[in-house]
């Protein structure tokens, strides 16, 4: 298992992060530099709100660039599915249909790396409470997820691994 300083992601996600970094370091950095230059031309910097805004934007830009560099440096490329896991168990890349026993509601989740998670789209991290609870279980199993409002019982209805 990877240490906690690694970020699990697909090769596609890593490529997207690299593209975003390239854009920020080339195009966006020049745009922000021009904003600062233009704001300086307005005169007294102590009362120049345009200059303050441009410098704030530059700080945000540099922060985002640093964040992306950390992600790239600590990326752990993961395959869509764990080939060593039995085909009928929940693992990274699985699409899992579950039933919330208390509310009698079905949900479908795709188990993904932490950098690919998008709960609104049904993509949950393998490091999330639900992802951890489902991991290594099979269809028919009932798992307990520790949630802030109390434990949630989920019954696994199906597991699909491609």
**CATH code at position 142:** 3.10.50.30
Q: Does the reported pTM lie above 0.75?
A: no
| 105 and 144 together in one domain | yes
- Counted domains in the chain: 2
Structural domain contains residue 15: yes
| 12 and 61 together in one domain | yes
Task: Per-residue pLDDT tens, the chain, 162 aa: give them.
Answer: 344 578 888 888 889 999 999 999 999 999 999 999 988 887 777 777 888 899 999 999 999 999 999 999 998 887 665 556 677 889 888 999 999 999 999 999 999 888 888 999 999 998 899 999 999 999 999 999 998 888 999 999 999 987
| 67 and 103 together in one domain | no
pLDDT in the model for residue 56: 93
Sign of CA dihedral 33, 36, 42, 45: negative
Query: Which tokens in the block code for residue 140?
Result: 């028919």
pLDDT in the model for residue 113: 85
pLDDT in the model for residue 80: 60
**CATH code at position 65:** 1.10.287.180
pLDDT in the model for residue 1: 39
pLDDT in the model for residue 83: 58
pLDDT in the model for residue 114: 82
| 67 and 123 together in one domain | no
């Amino acid at each position: 298992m990877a240490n906690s300083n690694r970020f699990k992601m697909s090769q596609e996600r890593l490529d997207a992060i690299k593209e975003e970094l390239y854009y920020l370091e080339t195009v966006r950095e020049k745009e922000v530099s021009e904003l600062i230059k233009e704001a300086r031309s307005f005169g007294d910097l102590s009362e120049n709100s345009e200059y303050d805004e441009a410098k704030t934007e530059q700080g945000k830009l540099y922060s985002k660039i640093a964040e992306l560099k950390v992600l790239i440096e600590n990326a752990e490329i993961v395959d869509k599915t764990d080939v060593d896991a039995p085909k009928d168990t929940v693992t990274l890349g699985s699409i899992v249909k579950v039933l919330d026993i208390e509310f009698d509601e079905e949900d479908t989740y795709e188990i993904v790396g932490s950098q690919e998670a998008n709960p609104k789209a049904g993509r949950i991290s393998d490091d999330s409470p639900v992802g951890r609870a489902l991991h290594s279980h099979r269809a028919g199993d009932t798992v307990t997820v520790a949630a802030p409002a109390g434990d949630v019982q989920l019954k696994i209805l199906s597991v699909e691994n491609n």
